[in-house]
């Protein structure tokens, strides 16, 4: 029985493009290494690969580590949350229903930790709370997840370029297209035909997206020094949205306010408003901001909130 596999790269437009499709008889380490060796042979620039995102598959991880020693291998955060949630809800670890959401929130807090210090602080709280809920899950986490924290937590991703890609959802989307085209049973000839057609569609879509970006992203002149760099890379439509919210910030920035709700992560926040009024909050608080600058796409306005 053949298994369909593929490698997807994040291109300059932010989308995923398939760069290698292959059929393999199994998912053993030697088989995967042969496929990756072929990919390296036809792509001399493979040494420029900075990071790889995979599911939590130790066989796949071992093969990638040997073939791409200079790249950092990250674990898909979407599947990490999904898998931990399945473990918490399973009867094996016997977590009470009213404690399951708390355990998930504590794991997410570690996953989105921006620094090693915050991860360690949140991990300490996680271990204290979860061991009360279920010692078995606490031992499972220490054995299979804590050892690889740099691969799934945000603090480990800060040192390598990942193009903002934290999941394998691009591969999942491509695989779903194959399943719809192939059906449950298909011949080898039809399978190869679908692979070639799908690859051609991917390339056509990429060329069209790049051409559209070139047409719709002209250079916009701007006299505001803070926005001049943004104006050079945004389209006129996006820049108008950024500029309107920048003006709103300049005019009404002193009316910003913040609401604080308690959480268990124990982080410390420092808020600075447009009036240079600073306040420091610590001791297990969580901040939710009623921000003005929230509606534009990837805007780069000077937001008057700094977290330390």
In a domain, 295, yes or no: no
Average pLDDT value for residue range 84-96: 86
Pair (183, 148) in one structural domain: no
Pair (71, 174) in one structural domain: yes
Pair (53, 82) in one structural domain: no
275-291: per-residue pLDDT in tens?
444 444 444 444 444 43
Nearest residue to 72 via CA among 41, 40, 47, 49: 49
Place of tokens 């934290």: 166
Evaluated on CA atoms 156, 158, 162, 164, the torsion sign reads: positive
- CATH number of 189's domain: 3.30.420
In a domain, 219, yes or no: no
In a domain, 124, yes or no: yes
Average pLDDT value for residue range 94-98: 84
In a domain, 211, yes or no: no
SS3 130: helix
Residue 75 above 50 pLDDT?
yes
Read off the pLDDT band of 306 (50, 70, 90).
very low
Nearest-5° Cα angle at 8, 6 to 10: 180
Residue 88 above 70 pLDDT?
yes
Pair (274, 127) in one structural domain: no
Pair (180, 71) in one structural domain: yes
Pair (234, 200) in one structural domain: no
In a domain, 303, yes or no: no
Tell me the two tokens of residue 276. Answer: 């240079």
Please give the pLDDT value at position 106: 92
Listed in order, strand segments (DSSP E) in the chain are: 3-10, 16-24, 51-54, 72-75, 258-262, 269-272, 278-281, 285-289
Please give the pLDDT value at position 219: 56
The most confident of the ranges 41-55, 189-203, 284-298 is 41-55
Total of domains in the chain: 3
In a domain, 299, yes or no: no
Pair (132, 244) in one structural domain: no
Average pLDDT value for residue range 148-156: 90
Pair (63, 174) in one structural domain: yes
Cβ atoms of 292 and 256 within 8 Å: the answer is yes
d(CA 298, CA 14): 13
Pair (275, 137) in one structural domain: no
Cβ atoms of 241 and 295 within 8 Å: the answer is yes
Nearest residue to 307 via CA among 257, 161, 282, 153: 282
Residue 119 above 90 pLDDT?
yes
pTM for the whole thing?
A: 0.61
Phi-psi region for residue 116, left (φ > 0), alpha (ψ -120 to 50) or beta? alpha
Pair (86, 153) in one structural domain: yes
Pair (70, 83) in one structural domain: no
d(CA 219, CA 186): 50
Of 157, 175, 193, the domain-final residue: 157
Pair (185, 47) in one structural domain: yes
Please give the pLDDT value at position 162: 73
Rg (CA), the chain: 24
The mean of the pLDDT values for the chain is: 74
In a domain, 215, yes or no: no
Tell me which residue range forms the domain holding 100: 77-157
Cβ atoms of 237 and 295 within 8 Å: the answer is no
Taking each helix axis as running N to C, give the angle between helix 97-111 and helix 116-133, from 0 to 180 degrees, rounded to the nearest 10: 170
DSSP assignment, residue 145?
T
């Amino acid at each position: 029985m053949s298994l369909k596999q593929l490698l997807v790269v994040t291109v300059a437009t932010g989308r995923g493009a398939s760069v290698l499709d292959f059929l393999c008889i199994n998912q053993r380490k030697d088989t995967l290494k042969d496929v990756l060796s072929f990919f390296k042979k036809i792509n001399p620039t493979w040494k420029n690969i900075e990071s790889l995102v995979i599911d939590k598959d130790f066989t796949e991880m071992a093969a990638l580590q040997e073939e791409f020693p200079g790249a950092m291998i990250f674990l898909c955060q979407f599947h990490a949350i999904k898998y931990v949630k399945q473990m918490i809800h399973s009867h094996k670890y016997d977590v009470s229903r009213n404690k399951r959401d708390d355990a998930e929130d504590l794991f997410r807090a570690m996953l989105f930790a921006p620094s090693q210090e915050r991860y360690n602080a949140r991990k300490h709280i996680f271990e204290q709370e979860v061991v009360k809920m279920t010692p078995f899950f606490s031992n499972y986490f220490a054995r299979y997840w804590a050892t690889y924290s740099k691969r799934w937590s945000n603090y480990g991703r800060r040192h390598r370029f990942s193009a903002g890609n934290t999941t394998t959802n691009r591969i999942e989307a491509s695989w779903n297209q194959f399943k719809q085209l192939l059906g449950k049973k298909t011949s080898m000839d039809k399978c190869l035909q679908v692979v070639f057609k799908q690859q051609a569609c991917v390339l056509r879509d990429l060329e069209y997206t790049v051409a559209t970006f070139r047409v719709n992203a002209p250079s916009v002149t701007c006299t505001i020094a803070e926005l001049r760099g943004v104006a050079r890379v945004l389209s006129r439509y996006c820049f108008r949205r950024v500029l309107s919210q920048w003006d709103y910030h300049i005019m009404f920035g002193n009316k910003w306010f913040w609401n604080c709700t308690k959480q268990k992560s124990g982080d410390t926040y420092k808020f600075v408003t447009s009036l240079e009024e600073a306040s420091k909050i610590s001791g297990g608080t969580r901040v939710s901001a009623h921000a003005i600058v929230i509606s534009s796409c990837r805007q780069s306005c000077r937001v008057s909130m700094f977290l330390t």
